Amino acid sequence: MKTPVKVGLIGLGTVGQGVIRLLKDNADAISARLGRPLVVTMAAARDLNRARDCDLDGIALTSDAQAVASSPDVDIVAELIGGTEPALSLVSAALARGTPVVTANKALLALDGNTVFERARAGNAAVGFEAAVAGGIPVIKVVREGLAGNRIDQVAGIINGTCNYILTQMRDQGQSFTDALAEAQRLGYAEADPTFDIEGIDAAHKLTILASIAFGMPLSFDAVSVQGITAVSAQDIRVAEALGYRIKHLGIAKRSGGKVELRVHPTLVPEQHLLAKVDGVLNSVLIHGNGSGPIGLYGAGAGGDATASAVVADLVDIARGLGGDAGTRVPDLGFAPASLTALPVLPLAETESAFYLRLRVADEPGVLKGITSIFAELDISIEAIQQREPPRASDDATVALITSEASEQRIHEAVQRIEALPFVREQLSRIRVEHFN
Ligand code: HSE
């Protein structure tokens, strides 16, 4: 039998345990593909006494992560702890020795990826990061390699499983936001700090990586406009549904006219659109290439086993190339490093989209006229409008509408003027709408 490829794991959490399970359960299939066995020989975890749902036999365990990162006895280091430090130091230590690294760490790549890839080049070692975006969906490979012949102008989709799970549970089960989040945590979908999920930061990390490999730009997390799902109410979900839409949390990276838009926010999607049908922890990424046309990927976006599938795919890829050099490898970000170009990012205020607005108003004559005339003055047309009569005559009415495409700036002005009208009872609820035409 050929010598096994030895993997050192840093982190024995949900994903680390999944990797050990998958490598053991599928050992034959993996070794048949690779031509030699792939085994975890060493693993580091903070708490070695915790019970784990995998077989740790044959693995040298340590609480010293540096010992794994710097070990001369491992061929590939898999960093599965998340966060920027100590992950950056550990990954850097491995790369400095020329040891390739596989990471599921989107925060590390979004924030410090330019440094990581520079260090990878200096150490002539590969960095695999399929698991950092959309769990088990091989989106990095598709964009970076499968679509290498295209000019990509859009990558958009549902890239946070926890948000999608929460929004689905709220709509289908009438579950509260808090209960749905607790369930997502219990199922191992949420980040260690779940505010990263619900505030949109995790999706922004992933969008940063996608934009970089799609458009050939350095990783630019600070350029992403980020909004989470904490302000999405059960009422918005119901009203959107009555208008024929679903509310999804999307990451959108668009390129046009030499500029890019990078944004993460709740979005109304027409109910017949593909993305509207992606429920639970599932993710979906739509990519538009000028040669390929639209491509849609769909699958489990979080969870130990799905993410482990992506980690193992990277381990196999890297193991195949061990002994190769940078000249024969796919460049980390899919573009020759010298070709990476910072692209101007359109400020959110200048981006255009349709909007959903919902407001509570006094039930009296002239209300709709007052609202619609503001839109007319600002040259924004209304695509759909719905007024709900109050259950009792003394209650307020609800008005919901969908605008035509307009800049954020113009919508903002309309909202401010509407909120100042005497019959408007509270701040408007405002969510972007994407039709993906
Ligand atoms: N917390 C992430 C999610 C895990 O919910 O999508 C996968 O990156």
Domain annotation for the chain: domains and CATH numbers: 5-137+305-339 (3.40.50.720), 139-299 (3.30.360.10), 348-433 (3.30.70.260)
202 lines ligand 1 (CB under 6 A): yes
The two three-digit tokens of residue 140, written as one number: 């990095």
- pLDDT for residue 410: 94
161 lines ligand 1 (CB under 6 A): yes
User: Atom of ligand 1 at shortest distance to CA of 163?
Assistant: 5
With tokens 């982190």, the residue in question is 11
Instruction: Give 184's contacts (C-beta < 8 A, 6+ positions apart).
Output: 161, 162, 165, 166, 190, 194, 197, 281
Instruction: Give 67's contacts (C-beta < 8 A, 6+ positions apart).
Output: 42, 44
The two three-digit tokens of residue 259, written as one number: 């500029």
Helix, strand, coil fractions of the chain, as percent rounded to 5: 40, 25, 35
Query: Does the annotation mark 206 as catalytic?
Result: yes
DSSP, collapsed to helix, strand or coil, labels residue 17 as helix
- Alpha-carbon gap, residue 222 to 435, rounded angstroms: 26
- pLDDT for residue 324: 59
82 lines ligand 1 (CB under 6 A): no
Q: What's the gap in Å between 155 CA and the centre of ligand 1?
A: 18
Name the pTM for this structure.
Answer: 0.94
User: Atom of ligand 1 at shortest distance to CA of 283?
Assistant: 6
- Alpha-carbon gap, residue 152 to 161, rounded angstroms: 24
User: Atom of ligand 1 at shortest distance to CA of 196?
Assistant: 1
How far from 303 is each of 50, 95, 208, 364, 417, CA to CA, in Å? 19, 27, 21, 51, 45
199 lines ligand 1 (CB under 6 A): no
Instruction: Give 394's contacts (C-beta < 8 A, 6+ positions apart).
Output: none
- Alpha-carbon gap, residue 294 to 287, rounded angstroms: 6
- The beta-strand segments (E) located in 208-351 are 225-226, 245-256, 259-270, 282-289, 293-300
- pLDDT for residue 132: 98
- pLDDT for residue 249: 98
190 lines ligand 1 (CB under 6 A): yes
**Residue 336 CB-density burial (10 A; 0-12 exposed, 13-18 middle, 19+ buried):** exposed
DSSP, collapsed to helix, strand or coil, labels residue 172 as helix
Q: What's the gap in Å between 16 CA and the centre of ligand 1?
A: 15
User: Atom of ligand 1 at shortest distance to CA of 302?
Assistant: 7
With tokens 């959903």, the residue in question is 356
- Compute and round to an integer the Cα radius of gyration of the chain: 24
Q: What's the gap in Å between 190 CA and the centre of ligand 1?
A: 6
User: Atom of ligand 1 at shortest distance to CA of 162?
Assistant: 5
- pLDDT for residue 354: 97
Alpha helix ranges (H) inside 173-252: 177-186, 195-198, 201-215, 234-242
- Alpha-carbon gap, residue 75 to 98, rounded angstroms: 9
303 lines ligand 1 (CB under 6 A): no
Q: What's the gap in Å between 302 CA and the centre of ligand 1?
A: 5
User: Residue 330's CB: how many other CB atoms inside 10 A?
Assistant: 14
User: For atom 4 of ligand 1, which residue has the closest CA?
Assistant: 302
With tokens 């290439």, the residue in question is 289
User: Would you call the peptide bond into 86 cis, given omega within 30 degrees of 0 as the criterion?
Assistant: yes
Mutate to test the pocket of ligand 1, among 185, 186, 202 (most ligand atoms within 8 A of CB): 202
Mutate to test the pocket of ligand 1, among 160, 183, 186, 207 (most ligand atoms within 8 A of CB): 160
The two three-digit tokens of residue 229, written as one number: 């799902």
302 lines ligand 1 (CB under 6 A): yes
User: Atom of ligand 1 at shortest distance to CA of 189?
Assistant: 5
131: DSSP letter? G
Please name which of 77, 73, 50, 46 lies closest in space to residue 62, comparing C-alpha atoms. Answer: 46
- pLDDT for residue 336: 82
Q: What's the gap in Å between 134 CA and the centre of ligand 1?
A: 7
Please name which of 220, 203, 298 lies closest in space to residue 255, comparing C-alpha atoms. Answer: 220
Active-site pick, 106, 141, 206, 254: 206
Phi, psi angles (nearest 5°) of residue 356: -105, 130
With tokens 């209304």, the residue in question is 382
The answer to whether the CB of 349 falls within 8 A of the CB of 409 is yes
DSSP secondary structure of 343-370:
--B--GGG-EEEEEEEEEE-S-TTHHHH
- Spell out the per-residue pLDDT of the chain, length 437, in tens: 679 999 999 999 999 999 999 999 999 999 888 889 999 999 999 999 999 999 999 999 999 999 999 999 999 999 999 999 999 999 999 999 999 999 999 999 999 999 999 999 999 999 999 999 999 999 999 999 999 999 999 999 999 999 999 999 999 999 999 999 999 999 989 998 999 999 999 999 999 999 999 999 999 999 999 999 999 999 999 999 999 999 999 999 999 889 999 999 999 999 999 999 999 999 999 999 999 999 999 999 999 999 999 999 999 999 988 755 566 677 889 888 888 999 999 998 889 999 999 999 998 889 999 999 999 999 999 999 998 776 776 688 999 999 999 999 999 999 999 999 999 998 899 999 999 87
Mutate to test the pocket of ligand 1, among 167, 197, 229, 285 (most ligand atoms within 8 A of CB): 197
- pLDDT for residue 334: 85
Q: What's the gap in Å between 346 CA and the centre of ligand 1?
A: 27
66: DSSP letter? H
Q: What's the gap in Å between 39 CA and the centre of ligand 1?
A: 26
* One-letter amino acid for residue 93 of the chain: A
- Alpha-carbon gap, residue 43 to 103, rounded angstroms: 14
- pLDDT for residue 399: 94
Q: What's the gap in Å between 389 CA and the centre of ligand 1?
A: 40
160 lines ligand 1 (CB under 6 A): yes
